[in-house]
Amino acid sequence: MKHWRLGILAIACSLVLTTGVASAQTYTATVGGLGGVWYTMFAGIAELVKEKEPAVVIRVVPGGGLIAVQKVGEGASEFGFGFPWTVADGRAGRDPFKTALPDVRGVMSGFGSSYLQFVIDKKFGANSLDEIFQKKMPLKIAVDRVGTTDELALRRVMGFYKMTYDDLAKAGGKVFHAGYNDQASLFKDRQVDALFQNIAIPSSAVLEAKVGRDIQLLGFSPALMDHMYKEYAFVRGKIPAGSYGIVEQALDSPESPTMMTANVKVSADVVYRVVKVVGDNPDRVRTIHDSLKAFDPTGGWKDLGAPIHPGAERYFKEKGWMK
């Protein structure tokens, strides 16, 4: 009888454990490049969600600002990060997206902002983007891969000056496509003169690039700022004075607020639980990265560039933040 009872107890425990494991579901979040701010931020959010909601496991994978929207829109990734302008372009199928992605939904905004950062070795001898591109200087520059907002933004900036990558090559320059960590290595090894990133401050690659070389950040001219705002919906932002310990006065720079996205087919309950963990623990979120120090969930339903996901809408309305 004793052995029979022990056997029943063992089976019961096994069923409980099996049920617990089976109830945990894994979801994918596509973000930016490995070593970038987006990757760090969503990895921290995933850890927080796992702690508070063990049944919701989020696996963070590297991608890029455009790739992330594409993957979420196609349903290949349940969650992601994006910018309002890339999300709106993706849903409408505007260039560079080949087809419309109507299944992208906004989940939550407020995850800091990315700024176009043009970092250059002082010894290169240029003090403005106008000087570099109008004079067709032989610039060697590292930027993220094709399919990222960084690379798209660089082409759009160069387009303002009526320059292409081929034009730069004819002038003796070159564009190197590399992830953030590799960009820092290229710069430290003196294979490139400059880095171009669309990323939150501080960028770990820029901090690393400072080691061994005297660098400066270049601001954007009023005409270029107007162009990026009117043509591509960037926000008129400023890189704060004191950034990286080298920016003496605030620099004009196109800004992109970061938002979380989800595919419309992700259950409202799952999205609700993810948003609730993030929204109910703002102090924890603020410790994930320096760019999240001002994180405030109360306005997270705004400026999404897409219809809000029903699960997120439920949370914000429950809190009374969204009417």
Task: Answer yes or no: do 129 and 218 share one domain.
Answer: yes
**Radius of gyration in angstroms for the set of CA atoms belonging to the chain, rounded to a whole number:** 22
| Residue 228 lies inside a defined structural domain of this protein | yes
Specify whether the backbone of 147 is left (phi greater than 0), alpha (psi in -120 to 50) or beta: left
Q: Which domain does 135 fall in, by range?
A: 115-256
Task: State pTM to two decimals.
Answer: 0.76
| Residue 16 lies inside a defined structural domain of this protein | no
Task: Answer yes or no: do 211 and 123 share one domain.
Answer: yes
Task: Answer yes or no: do 153 and 225 share one domain.
Answer: yes
Task: Answer yes or no: do 264 and 175 share one domain.
Answer: no
Task: Answer yes or no: do 134 and 154 share one domain.
Answer: yes
| Residue 4 lies inside a defined structural domain of this protein | no
Task: Answer yes or no: do 150 and 249 share one domain.
Answer: yes
Per-residue pLDDT of the chain (323 residues; tens, 9 = 90+): 444 454 444 444 444 444 444 478 999 999 988 878 899 999 999 999 999 999 999 999 999 889 999 999 999 999 999 999 999 999 999 888 999 999 999 999 999 999 999 999 999 999 999 999 999 999 999 999 998 899 999 999 999 999 999 999 999 999 999 999 999 999 999 999 999 999 989 999 999 999 989 999 999 999 999 999 888 888 899 999 999 999 999 999 999 999 999 999 999 999 999 999 999 999 999 999 988 999 999 999 998 989 999 999 999 999 999 99
| Residue 53 lies inside a defined structural domain of this protein | yes
DSSP E strand stretches across 169-218: 174-177, 194-199, 215-218
Residues written for the chain: 323
**pLDDT at position 104:** 98
| Residue 6 lies inside a defined structural domain of this protein | no
Task: Answer yes or no: do 140 and 250 share one domain.
Answer: yes
> What torsion do the CA atoms of 143, 70, 254, 215 make, to the nearest 10 degrees?
-20
Using CA atoms, how far apart are residues 42 and 45, in angstroms rounded to an integer?
Answer: 5
Q: How many domains does the chain have?
A: 2
